[in-house]
Amino acid sequence: MAPISQSTVRSELSFSGVGLHTGESVDIKVLPGEPGSGIVFIQDGNEQVQIPASWELVKGSSYLGVTLEKQDEDPARTWRVRTVEHLLAAFSGAGIDNAIVVVRGSEIPGMDGSSKCFTEAFQSRRTLVESKSSLRKVKVLKEVAVSQEDGNSRWAKLSPLEDADTDGDLNISVHLDFGTRMQPQSFSYWRSEFITRKVLEARTFGFMSDLEGLRANNLARGSSLDNTIAFNDNGSVINKEGLRFPKEPSMHKGLDALGDLRLGGVLSGRYESLRPGHSLNIMLLKKLYSSAKNFRFV
């Protein structure tokens, strides 16, 4: 019988950049994790405070990002890590089960607005470690769905895989409709295709007409044409290089969904959404785990 193993990074990796929302210079180090430990965030200089990548610690999700938060022993102090979704998508897409992420700053660096840099580094350093047990996955047993109404209908759902589907994989399908601001588009892929379908390269995007309002609310302060696709309200792209792919916006929303869903573990099932956002995806995970009838650990 082949030995049971889980995956991690073989050695330390470092990344530096600007936080997409804070605009601050931030650095992270990714270190090997012990089997069964999952993905854990640590604030540099405060190694005793560990923040597991779990939907239960999401305190500040919005349409534009996910924040993990943990209370310190001192009730007056709270530790936060912002914008974790692109890094988590890279862990999931590259098949990294366990890792420690040491963060200097309050946000994960935005890099080029995609997961490309993270994923390629994880691919090159991925290694298997013998374990007493295999990685525990989460099998979706019943369909669960959530929706939001904010002037535009949004919904997301998780459902079981059919018998003919790839066993243990996760299928992600997203549909975008921004009215006259962008042509409607859809994109679907399997988690196992994250690299081969080039989903890792799809960049975050936004509309120039929204930028002033976002920055007034302390969001998108690090956003630039170096890390964000900028659209005019007529659907034209401002970036000189244009889009990397015709469906890059829906591909990126599929990337975001993979990262958000990693907060619920390694899921096996089907995900589908219309106009998805991070808060909607966290609502969906809460709904999934609201009843033991909805899932099974395998």
Q: Are strands 67-71 and 153-159 parallel, antiparallel or unpaired?
A: unpaired
Taking each helix axis from N to C end, the angle separating 116-125 and 85-94, rounded to the nearest 10 degrees, works out to 40
Taking each helix axis from N to C end, the angle separating 85-94 and 248-261, rounded to the nearest 10 degrees, works out to 80
- Cα separations (Å) of 24 from 16, 81, 223? 11, 13, 11
Q: Is 278 a catalytic residue?
A: yes
DSSP state of 98: -
Q: Are strands 13-18 and 5-9 parallel, antiparallel or unpaired?
A: unpaired
Q: Which amino acid does the sequence have at 274?
A: L
Q: Looking at 21, 86, 252, 278, which residue is catalytic? A: 278
- Cα separations (Å) of 211 from 5, 13, 52, 83, 288? 46, 33, 31, 18, 34
Question: What's the gap between Cα 51 and its chain centre?
Answer: 16
In degrees, rounded to 5, the angle at the alpha carbon of residue 258 between the alpha carbons of residues 49 and 131 is 60
Can you say whether the dihedral through the CA atoms of 37, 166, 272, 242 is positive or negative? positive
3-class DSSP state of 16 = strand
Residues recognised as catalytic: 278
